[in-house]
Amino acid sequence: MNNRTGSFLWNLRQLSTLVPTGRTMRLYPLAFCRPNIAYSNWNRRNLLNTFDNKMQSSIIYLFQDALIFKSGGDGCQTKGISTVTVFTDSKHFLASDNELKKSFHQEASDEDVLTKRRKPTLINSRKLSQECNSLSDVLDIFSKAPTFTSSNYFSAMWTIAKRMSEDQKRFEKQLMFNHPAFSQLCEQVMREAKIMYFDNLLFSLHAIVKLGIPQNTLLVQTLLRVKCLSVLSTILNTMEPCKNVDQVWKIKHVFTLQTVMRSIGKDDPIGLKRKLEMKALKELDQFSVLNCQHMFAVLAAMNHHSVILLNECSKRVTSNIHGCPFKILINILQSCRDLQYTNIDLFKGIADYVATTFDIWKLKKVLFLLILFENFGFRPVGLMDLFIKKAADESGFLNVKSLVCILNVYSSLNHFYKCQTHKFLGVMASALTGSLHHISSENLLNAVCSVCWMNHFPLALINQLLQKDVIDDLLTSGDVERNAHRLHVVAACLKLDDAPCHKDLDLALPRLLPAPSCPQPKVAAALSDLLGEGCFSQSVRLPHNYFIDFEIRMDNNRSQALPFSDVDVVTATDIQRVAVLCVPKSAYCLDSTHPKGYLAMKMQHLKIMGFYVIVVNNWEVEKLQMKDAVVFLKTKIYSPKALSAADTHLQSTC
């Protein structure tokens, strides 16, 4: 018996002893074959048992002399990685090429169906973040059916958290930490850390840190110890400067540079921030309009107040303002607020553009813009006039929160528009009266305080505010000190202004602490030179919780200052009390001499109380020499008639 026949019979005996098993072979370009078995129970223990029991046969003998796979023609071609099926049952031993191809296609299709049936459904973080409204919703889905990879759950939770306010985010994080499935998710992330793709690992670490999980926890430290991350961090720390390392800072694309700057964060060293700032200034000529618009948010993200960058980008944004999306305008103003950056040309450009295209914007969008302007103290007159008209016509589309915000903006900026203001305030008050039973005590107080600042007194709102249970609620919950101050303001307005309900109020309001008084020292010195000691008083407290920096007593003609004494030699009717108020720039609207609401109300109430009010701007006095400051105060304190008489007397004596 020759060797070929002997080999054939030996193979036949070996195959006849095996249980028929469908087996998939992968043909590699180098002609090596690996069996790939489809198992009914995907289990590590079953896999090992099956491997031990079924892989005893030496398939290599089958390929010794019995079967030859052709590389071309009507045989099975091995292009790349191919799959064929070989049966170890003796009945299927010698198969023709056609039968082998049929068997191959049949088994391959069966394997595809089996694989699709048993392949786990991967969770998509974007879809998950769209379907869920809270962090707990994501954890609920995880607890029902955990799927690979767990990094998507954390990514989805961070995406949802970014949409929340700070208070809501804080509350949701607490619920997340207390959720029973949270610890299970952390454990699964730690188990999957070594087999995650690199991008999933990075996204997991990013989301976990952003969600506020402490860095000294086992979860964070486990991720940091994964080989790919630890090696990367170690290499970056130990690499010496070279062309490839320094290439990181040779960024040519502005968008890439802004992405790096945004990723730096607020807590990084100021030296690194300035280096990136210099790089941005170097590439300033390459900035597109979109780059300039986004630069505000980039600087706010890294908390870096770069005046040069902000000024240059403001010029580009202002000159290309038309067609700018409203969302971009809002983002620019929010970033300016976060950076405490004011640019009157930028603000005027945005306000003029919105006023020009006013009819295409929704009322609530314009209101959001006005709220941001009010934060800066900026008063866009034209835009606010247009808003008054439209708000009076469409007040039914505004909710309580919007109505309160509108009143706060207009009272804070002390804005009136001809005869439209009275109608506007009446419409706003009527809309609030319709929601009187749904409005909170604090919103009611804010609304009443705002309309009182504007000398408007809606009886229904005021009567509701003065209810004992409402007052008690305001003085025992929320910001009690602020509520008490506003109640004092309302009480002062009702007593001093020409209010229809000027009856005495029996409000048991707490006594407010005296405001920190620090009169302008230069003004005090100038008054001493001008009037002499004993002719003025400093830090005077008045009824209704008002304070004035200096009080001067003069005759009715304001031609002579009278000394303060325990017993006045003249009657009260012969005295003109003069109140000197030293105010900062913040008491006025931005880039104007228009007083804000509180200063305007205080001046009005002081006049009602019998004072002649003199307003001294601190920043103007600081620029003057002492001699000039004395002359400046003299022209403000004495009446023009008295000054002209004094000049005439001086000339006659000369």
- For 281-309, the pLDDT digits (tens) are 988 998 999 999 999 999 999 999 999 99
- Sorted by sequence, the CB contacts under 8 Å of residue 59 that are 6+ apart come out as 23, 25, 33, 35, 86, 88
**Stretch 240-253: mean pLDDT, rounded?**
57
Q: What are the tokens at 123?
A: 């969770």
Identity of residue 130: Q
**How many other C-beta atoms lie within 10 A of the C-beta of residue 581?**
19
The burial class, CB within 10 Å (0-12 / 13-18 / 19+), for 470 is: middle
- For 188-205, the pLDDT digits (tens) are 888 888 888 777 787 888
User: Do residues 35 and 85 make contact, with C-beta atoms less than 8 angstroms apart?
Assistant: no
- For 485-504, the pLDDT digits (tens) are 999 899 889 888 877 765 55
Q: How far apart are CA 410 and CA 414, in angstroms?
A: 6
Residue 374 has pLDDT above 90, yes or no: yes
Please report, for residues 6, 149, 180, the alpha-carbon distance to residue 125 in angstroms, rounded to integers and kept in the order given.
Answer: 61, 10, 21
| Among 33-37, 170-174, 296-300, 390-394, the least confident range | 33-37
Residue 401 has pLDDT above 80, yes or no: yes
User: Do residues 318 and 349 make contact, with C-beta atoms less than 8 angstroms apart?
Assistant: yes
C-alpha 521, offset from chain centre:
41
- For 101-132, the pLDDT digits (tens) are 444 444 444 444 444 444 445 567 788 888 88
DSSP classification of residue 368: H
Give me the helix-helix angle, 521-531 and 626-637, nearest 10°. Answer: 70
591: alpha, beta or left? (left if phi > 0; alpha if psi -120 to 50) = left
481: alpha, beta or left? (left if phi > 0; alpha if psi -120 to 50) = alpha
HSE-up of 313 (CA within 13 Å, CB side)? 28
Q: What are the tokens at 84?
A: 């064929």
User: How high is the pLDDT of residue 219?
Assistant: 85
Q: Which position has the token pair 């009702």?
A: 494
- Ranked by mean pLDDT, the top range of 317-326, 550-559, 645-654 is 317-326
Q: How confident is the model at residue 236 (pLDDT cuts 50, 70, 90)?
A: low
The burial class, CB within 10 Å (0-12 / 13-18 / 19+), for 343 is: buried
Cis peptide before 149 (omega within 30 of 0): yes
Q: How confident is the model at residue 517 (pLDDT cuts 50, 70, 90)?
A: low
Please give the helix or strand (H or E) that residue 84 lies within, else none. strand 82-87
Residue 296, strand partner residues: none
Q: How confident is the model at residue 621 (pLDDT cuts 50, 70, 90)?
A: very high
Residue 579 has pLDDT above 50, yes or no: yes
541: alpha, beta or left? (left if phi > 0; alpha if psi -120 to 50) = beta
The SS3 of residue 143 is helix
User: Do residues 149 and 122 make contact, with C-beta atoms less than 8 angstroms apart?
Assistant: yes
